[in-house]
């Protein structure tokens, strides 16, 4: 268990020291800031599409640090040593994914309501966005870790990770945004999509590390 | 000398189970190319085996096969714990091996001590070794708080040697252990290897230079064939 905790702590440490977490935050800010220039100063429209923009922004910003998640380990030889440590490969992948979520996902969740103000979101919508992000972004990190593990030996894996991961996180996006809409407008439900979002995260928690471990093992040869 | 005295202490702390490494008709294929075929050897506790041969002959691949990082294309390689009274529940695939590859596995942004602490947490062991002690033995005691990014190749190699000491594991796989080490470092490596063997460990070293201590057996890989050279000493 100390090994698992050490992997999480090291992942957080490296993301913060390497600036990956900050880059994601700045990217998120830039993305949300240019949307009003694109769609025009229609406050009602911005309030309606705001949750979706925040969610897409968080998704894209989460992808930024993924190529380093196992790529750095592969380059400096840590991957071999991690595998030989005797720590289960599944826990190694899970630790890296959780570390990525803490270092990249959490700051984005905290920043989301602040940026939501720029999009004319109501307080209830801000709260709903935060809640759905909190429930859904772990799934993004876990699925992202699988993509990172699959592309570990490739020289320019970053782009490929986005292509691999984005289609897989579409369900997360759908339920995240629809739960937020449900919280804001009355006839639509909040509970059902939110619970489905939690279910997706639980499923990713189980399947992600297994798939990631298999991908890393395949990448060794 | 305080340093060799300290080495003595660490080695005594280690109580290795008796291991046996056996390869039967081992084939290695990388890409479409057969690197070597039909390799047979047995290595037991207290023995040092040197793998020699020209560049690209498959010395590193042999080490990775032993570590389980590569799958053999044919034949078998097995590492087993022979000691019947050592607890049978312990892992036999990952927990027995220290691997010193040509990549050092150190994070550039983190300091020497942070890197070693991370590996100590992962490589575990019931009795944690003092990091200061290990750094002092490896001759990097004064560098503990320095980021790895500014270390020289030789200093990083010494940190790699320190990593071998953070937890007792019976089989050391050393890939070109002498590269980048100075005369002092070579002597240190010799001492560490001797202590490890005396404590009942085993070592496989891939090298094209003479090792600081004479190997018990030498395997020469050349032209796709592996030959066990019975005589001690790599020079033949």
Longest Cα–Cα distance in chain B: 52
pLDDT at B99: 93
Q: What is the mean pLDDT of residues B56-63?
A: 88
Q: Nearest Cβ partner of A2 from B64, B109, B124?
A: B124
For B163-184, what is each residue's pLDDT tens digit? Answer: 998 888 889 999 999 888 889 9
Query: Residue B83 pLDDT > 70, yes or no?
Result: no
Q: CA B103: distance to chain centroid?
A: 13
Compute how many other C-beta atoms are within 10 angstroms of the C-beta atom of residue B183: 7
Per-chain mean pLDDT for chain B: 82
Query: Which string of DSSP letters, residue by residue, matches chain B?
Result: -HHHHHHHHHHHH--PPPEEEEEEEEEEEETTEEEEEEEEEEEETT-EEEEE-STTSSHHHHHHHHHTSS--SEEEEEEEE--TTS-TTS-SSSTTEEEE-SS----TTSBHHHHHHHHHHHH--SSPPPHHHHHHHTT-GGGTTSBGGGS-HHHHHHHHHHHHHSS--SEEEEESTTTT--HHHHHHHHHHHHHHHHTT-EEEEE-SS--SS--SEEEEEETTEEEEE-SSSS--
pLDDT at B90: 45
* Beta partners for residue B203, in sequence order: B48, B172
Distance, CA of A31 to CA of B107 (rounded, Å): 31
Q: Nearest Cβ partner of B123 from A5, A85, A220?
A: A85
For A126-165, what is each residue's pLDDT tens digit? Answer: 999 999 999 999 999 999 999 999 999 887 777 899 999 9
Q: Nearest Cβ partner of A221 from B71, B106, B108?
A: B71
Query: Residue B232 pLDDT > 80, yes or no?
Result: no
Q: What is the mean pLDDT of residues B57-63?
A: 89
Distance, CA of A109 to CA of A194 (rounded, Å): 16
pLDDT at B227: 72
* Residue B112 near residue B140 (C-beta atoms within 8 A): yes
Distance, CA of A67 to CA of A62 (rounded, Å): 11
Residue A78's pLDDT band (cuts 50, 70, 90): very high
The pTM of this model reads 0.89
What residues in A contact B108, CB-CB < 8 Å?
76
pLDDT at A188: 83
Put simply, the answer to whether B108 touches A76 (Cβ < 8 Å) is: yes
**Residue of chain B whose Cα is closest to the Cα of A4:** B122
Residue B92's pLDDT band (cuts 50, 70, 90): very low
Angstrom distances, CA of residue A37 to CA of A43, A118, A121, B198, B236? 12, 12, 17, 73, 76
Residue B35's pLDDT band (cuts 50, 70, 90): confident
Q: Nearest Cβ partner of A80 from B69, B106, B122?
A: B69
Q: What is the mean pLDDT of residues B111-136?
A: 85
Distance, CA of B140 to CA of B156 (rounded, Å): 9
Q: Residues in chain B whose beta carbon is closer than 8 A to a beta carbon of chain A?
A: 64, 67-71, 91, 93-95, 97-99, 101-110, 114, 118-119, 121-124
* Residue B162 near residue B141 (C-beta atoms within 8 A): no
Of residues A70 and A187, the one with the higher pLDDT is: A70
For A191-210, what is each residue's pLDDT tens digit? Answer: 999 999 999 999 999 999 99
- CA-CA-CA-CA dihedral for B53, B55, B57, B61, to nearest 10: 110
Q: What is the mean pLDDT of residues B177-192?
A: 90
pLDDT at B150: 93
To test the contact with chain B by mutation, choose from A2, A8, A86 the residue with the greatest count of B C-beta atoms within 10 A, namely: A86
What residues in A contact B119, CB-CB < 8 Å?
81, 85
Query: Residue A221 pLDDT > 80, yes or no?
Result: no
Query: Residue B58 pLDDT > 80, yes or no?
Result: yes
pLDDT at B87: 52
- Which of A103-117, B11-25, B137-151, B203-217 has the lowest average pLDDT? B11-25
Percentage of chain A surpassing pLDDT 90?
A: 70
Of residues A95 and B85, the one with the higher pLDDT is: A95
pLDDT at A184: 87
Percentage of chain B surpassing pLDDT 90?
A: 29
* Residue B65 near residue B77 (C-beta atoms within 8 A): yes
pLDDT at A56: 95
**Residue of chain B whose Cα is closest to the Cα of A15:** B109
């Amino acid at each position: 268990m100390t090994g698992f905790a050490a992997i999480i702590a090291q992942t957080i440490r490296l993301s913060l020291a390497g600036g990956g977490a900050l880059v994601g935050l700045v990217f998120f800010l830039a993305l949300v800031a240019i949307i009003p220039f694109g769609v025009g100063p229609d406050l009602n429209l911005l309030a309606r599409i705001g949750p979706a923009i925040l969610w897409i922004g968080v998704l894209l910003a989460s992808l930024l640090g993924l190529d380093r998640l196992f790529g750095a380990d592969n380059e400096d030889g840590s991957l071999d040593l991690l595998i030989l440590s005797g720590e289960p490969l599944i826990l190694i992948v899970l630790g890296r994914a959780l570390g990525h979520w803490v270092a990249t996902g959490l700051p984005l969740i905290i920043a989301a309501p602040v940026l939501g103000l720029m999009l004319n979101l109501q307080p209830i919508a801000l709260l709903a966005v935060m809640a759905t992000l909190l429930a859904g972004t772990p799934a993004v990190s876990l699925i992202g870790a699988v993509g990172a593990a699959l592309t570990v030996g490739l020289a320019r894996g970053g782009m490929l990770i986005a292509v691999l991961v984005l289609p897989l996180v579409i369900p997360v996006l759908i339920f995240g945004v629809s739960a937020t809409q449900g919280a804001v407008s009355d006839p639509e439900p909040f509970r059902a999509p939110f619970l489905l979002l939690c279910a997706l995260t639980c499923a990713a928690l189980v399947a992600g590390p297994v798939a990631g471990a298999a991908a890393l093992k395949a990448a060794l040869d | 000398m305080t340093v060799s005295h300290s080495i003595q202490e660490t080695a005594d702390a280690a109580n290795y189970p008796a291991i046996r490494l056996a390869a039967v008709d081992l084939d290695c294929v990388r890409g479409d190319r057969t690197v070597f075929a039909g390799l047979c050897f047995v290595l037991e506790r207290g023995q040092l085996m040197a793998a020699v041969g020209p560049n690209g002959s498959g010395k590193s691949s042999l080490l990775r096969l032993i570590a389980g990082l590569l799958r053999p294309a044919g034949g078998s390689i097995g590492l087993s714990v022979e000691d019947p009274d050592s607890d049978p529940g312990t892992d036999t695939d990952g927990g027995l091996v220290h691997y010193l590859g040509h990549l050092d596995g150190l994070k550039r942004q983190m300091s020497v001590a942070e890197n070693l602490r991370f590996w100590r947490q992962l490589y575990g062991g019931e009795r944690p070794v003092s990091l200061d002690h290990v750094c002092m033995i490896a001759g990097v005691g004064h560098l503990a708080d320095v980021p790895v990014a500014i270390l020289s190749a030789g200093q990083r190699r010494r940190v790699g040697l320190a990593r071998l000491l953070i937890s007792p594991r019976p089989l050391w796989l050393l890939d070109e252990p002498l590269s980048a080490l100075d005369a002092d470092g070579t002597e240190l490596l010799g001492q560490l290897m001797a202590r490890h063997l005396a404590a009942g460990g085993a070592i496989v070293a891939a090298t094209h230079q003479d090792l600081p201590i004479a190997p018990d057996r030498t395997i020469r890989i050349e032209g796709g064939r592996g030959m066990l050279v019975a005589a001690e000493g790599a020079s033949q």
